[in-house]
Structure 1
Amino acid sequence: MDLINFRVGKKTISLQILDILLTERYEENLTDLPNDNPSFLGVKDYMGVPTPIFDLGIILNKRSSYETNQELVSMLKQREQDHKEWLVALEASIFNDVPFTKAKDPKQCAFGQWYYGFKTENDDLKALLKRFEEPHAKLHSLADKLLVMCAQGHKQEAIDTLAREKSTTFNKLMRLFESARDQIMLDHKPIIVFTTQDGQSPHIGLLVDKVEDNVHCDESDIKSLQEMTSIGFEIDAQTKKLMKGLVKMGKRHSVLIDPSAIFRPEHLQNYEPEETEEYGLF
């Protein structure tokens, strides 16, 4: 069995290559239709066929990848603000002898607690986040260092050191926060996978994060849904309807999806397609 793997959030999903008609970049140019299914995004015309598009992230993860990314961006914005306030507090301690109550351990601030537990499959983001460790740890180490200087009567030296580190270490950290937010949003270029039941006309479109690879697997590599539920593996009703099984690929697994399990909204029967250009096959 030949499969194409796709990334949806932190999950890898697989579709049989015979179920795929084509893929195209999602441009948010769908026709909205009233529907109470949260995963239904709208309709896209392909060769005159009104094709419903569903967000596989919402189906499998209960939320879209866009929402997940937006939350991550907002969190990083807040953590950036935290460190601006951290520096202001340190300045107040050095200049005005105000007690310093912020985290001195880089692993104990809110960002550090997130940072040392966060995992991502995005290699570019992973490399960028790795660059945070040195300036972030160095910034936090300043608190004890400068407060000791002040306690020993070297206040001016502490002030000079703080000014130097503010223009170097602190500014470097601020630029990294901005770069990380940009990286997260720029890297998210979702794709519509148009599926087919007859090999010629589109059935539905599934929104995924990206194409990963193609693989060949034997039937023996697929753990059936019945096998999984019999050992206590719980699957919600909507996912269970879509899922053919779990495909073992070395040390990882992917979810084998049956796109025919998603039905078209009934009101598409009265939808009049717009003229659209023909797209190439996958």
Structure 2
Amino acid sequence: MELINFKVGCKTISLKILDILLTERFDNNLTTLPNNNKSFIGVKDYMDIPTPVFDLGIILNNISTEQSNAHILKQLRIWQEKLLNWFNTLQSNLLNSSASISSNDAELQDFILFYKEFNTDNEDLKLTMSRLNEPFQSLLETVKEAISAHNQSDYKQVSALLEKIKRSNLIQLERLFESAKEQITLDYKPIIVFTTKDGLNPHVGLLVDKVEDNIDYKKEDIKPLDKLTEVGFDLDPQTKNMMRGLIKLPQKHSVLIDPSVIFKPTQIEESESEETQAYGLF
């Protein structure tokens, strides 16, 4: 049976190709309705059939990719501003103060942790974040030289070193910050996957980040989740019921999902438990 893999935040999920009617770009043009389900984002017409659309990121990750991206963008903007403010304050002290100045970069140690521990599946963004280290460490070293020159009253050298930082390190860091923010924004092009239970009519739409690839699976490729969900996994019933197993990929696993049971009423779920558990796998 053929599967299609989709990216949802840091997870990869698989859907049977027979469960998919269509995929289309999400243009944020859904009709919203009053509801208490945080993953329900609206209704979209598919062949004149109003179809509910759910954010699979919220279902699986408890946060939408859009919200996650917004959080990262906010962190980048905060650090970009904090770094500039830190340097401006230091520069003012170096140029205007005759008192001895010590290197005070302790507040920036969290920034080093931020970019060194930054985790993403976006290879371009990962590379950009790793490239922050060289100009930042160079900036810190040059700042130490400027402070040393200041404490020796070599103000001409102080000015030269400050200009070097502004022309080189700060410009490089600014470009990398802007590049990282651009990659986060441009990389997010979510799509709606319209699913079906009968091959003709839409069931629900699922918001995912992007299409990954397609694979053929065999019975031995599917690893059941029974043992995993029995030990220490706090999954809500709906999420647990729609997860059918794990599929081994080259460097990770994909979660096989049965979209037909998403938000199915409990009483119907129980009456069809045998059918949904089998999900045509065996």
In 2, Cα distance between equivalents of 1:264 and 1:104: 53
The normalised TM-score by structure 2 is 0.87
Establish whether residue 36 from structure 1 lines up as the match of residue 30 from structure 2: no
Segment of structure 1 superposing worse, 109-118 or 18-27? 109-118
**Counterpart amino acid of residue 237 in structure 1:** P
SS in 2 for 1:175: helix
Q: How far apart in 2 are the matches of 1:50 and 1:156?
A: 71
CA shift at 1:237, angstroms? 2.6
Moved more, 157-166 or 221-230: 221-230
Q: 1:103 is matched by which residue type in structure 2?
A: D
Q: How does 1:59-70 map to 2 (within 5 A)?
A: 59-70=59-70
How many Å separate the matches in 2 of 1:135 and 1:254? 38
Gaps of 5+ in 1: 266-282
Secondary structure of 1:159's partner? helix
Deviation at 1:231, TM superposition (A): 4.9
String of CA shifts for 1:22-47, please: whole Å, max 9, x gaps.
Answer: 10000011111111110001110011
Q: What is the match of residue 19 of structure 1?
A: 19
Which residue is 2:164 aligned to? Answer: 164
Q: What is the match of residue 187 of structure 1?
A: 187
- Name the residue aligned to 1:139: 139
Which consecutive aligned stretches of 4+ in structure 1 deviate over 6 angstroms post-superposition? none
* Distance in 2 between residues matched to 1:176 and 1:113, nearest whole Å: 17
Alignment partners' CA distance in 1, 2:60 and 2:139: 40
Deviations 1:24-82 (A, max 9, x none): 00001111111111000111001111110000000001111000000100000000011
Who is 1:202 aligned against? 202
Measured after TM superposition, the shift of residue 2 of structure 1 is: 1.4
Q: C-alpha distance in 2, partners of 1:165/1:151?
A: 18
Task: Kindly provide the amino acid, as one letter, of the partner of residue 213 in structure 2.
Answer: D
Q: 1:76 to 1:123 in 2, by over 3 A?
A: same
Equivalent position to 2:104, from 102, 105, 108: 102
Q: Offset at 1:98?
A: 6.4
When residues 98 and 205 of structure 1 are mapped into structure 2, their CA distance, relative to the original with a 3 A threshold, is farther
Identity rate, percent: 48
Aligned residue number for residue 73 of structure 2? 73
CA contact (8 A) 1:38 1:58 kept: yes
Q: Deviations over 1:158-191 (max 9, x none)?
A: 1121123212221221122122112211110001
Count of residue correspondences: 263
- Give the whole-Å Cα distance in 1 for the aligned partners of 2:102 and 2:182: 32
- More displaced, 51-60 or 249-258? 249-258
d(CA) in 1 for partners of 2:181, 2:154 = 39
Deviations 1:249-281 (A, max 9, x none): 23310111110111379xxxxxxxxxxxxxxxx
RMSD, aligned α-carbons: 2.0
Q: Distance in 2 between matches of 1:198 and 1:215?
A: 22
CA 1:98 to 1:3, structure 2 compared with 1: closer, same or farther past 3 Å?
farther
Gaps of 5+ in 2: 266-282
Q: Which residue of 2 aligns with 1:88?
A: 88
The residue that corresponds to 2:277 in the other structure is none
**Aligned counterpart, 1:272:** none
TM-score, reference length from structure 1:
0.87
Q: Would you say 1:262 and 2:262 are equivalent positions?
A: yes
